[in-house]
Amino acid sequence: MLDPTAIANPADYTQHDYRDKSLVIRRFKKDVRDQLQGNFPERQIEVVKTQATAAEEEAYARLMDVSFHNLDGRGQGVGQLFRTTLEKALFPSPAACLSTVRNRMARLRKRLEKERDGERQTTLVEDLDTLQGLEVELQAITPEQFSKYQLLRRQLCDGLGWAPMDPNDRLVLFTESLVTLDFLAKRLPDDLKLNTATSSSRRTRPESAPRSAASGRKRAPPGPRCTTSGRCTRSWNGSPTAC
């Protein structure tokens, strides 16, 4: 709680009265909008859709058809829950789902090494076979077959009004998982011919950045880093020679 005696006159004070007293005053946007005219343009939200590729359709159909028996020794109900987890992981990116599959396969192999019950060994092997089949389907979704990634590339080149040659026009991408973030960090600089020396990825609490009304993106202060609170982000600027 704030010390009620920290400011002598609550009705008449300036920043100098509290800046050296370790106080932070949090205000809502509506409370300071009249003081910051032009810095709070209305957000523009646009939903863009794309058709799933054949590889994506096959992987999703395989996922909807799988069943698990002994993922953690507590029966089939947990297997149904894990399938839902895989489905949610597939929506951000095949890489995120593939990472989840491989992590679970590693855990099952460790359990199989220690398991002595013959029936449980059989169900563990069956679950491993199921995950390996799903792994093959996910690996078939290459970047060229990843429809949302190809849509993102087109949007970056033509749809957002991004000026990559302007070092002050920083593009911030939000992802659901670090695996998806890593995928974008590896693919986009090469695919868009970006300068990787000026890109960075972090999860932290940044200074607020004004949002561009024209594109619905955040314009970050100059510098090689752009971050956001509690999310996985990646920022780029560079000079793409081809899109």
pLDDT in tens, 8-54: 777 888 877 777 766 666 777 777 777 776 667 777 888 888 999 99
Q: Among residues of the chain, what percentage have pLDDT more than 90?
A: 29
97 belongs to a structural domain: yes
Q: Among residues of the chain, what percentage have pLDDT more than 70?
A: 72
Residue 68 backbone zone (phi > 0: left; psi -120 to 50: alpha; other: beta): beta
Amino acid 237: pLDDT = 46
204 belongs to a structural domain: no
170 phi and psi, to 5 degrees?
Answer: -95, 135
196 belongs to a structural domain: no
Domain count within the chain: 1
Amino acid 73: pLDDT = 55
pTM: 0.65
Mean pLDDT (whole number) for 137-152: 94
- What crossing angle do the helices spanning 54-65 and 76-90 adopt, rounded to 10°? 160
85 belongs to a structural domain: yes
pLDDT higher than 60, residue 218:
no
pLDDT higher than 80, residue 95:
yes
163 belongs to a structural domain: no
Amino acid residing at 114: K
pLDDT higher than 50, residue 219:
no
* Residue 5: pLDDT band with limits 50, 70, 90: confident
Residue 147 in contact with residue 51, Cβ under 8 Å? yes
32 belongs to a structural domain: no
pLDDT in tens, 67-78: 888 776 555 567
Mean pLDDT (whole number) for 158-183: 82
66 belongs to a structural domain: yes
195 belongs to a structural domain: no
- Name residue, tokens 């992987």: 59
Amino acid 41: pLDDT = 72
pLDDT higher than 60, residue 222:
no
Domain extent, residue 137, equals: 54-144
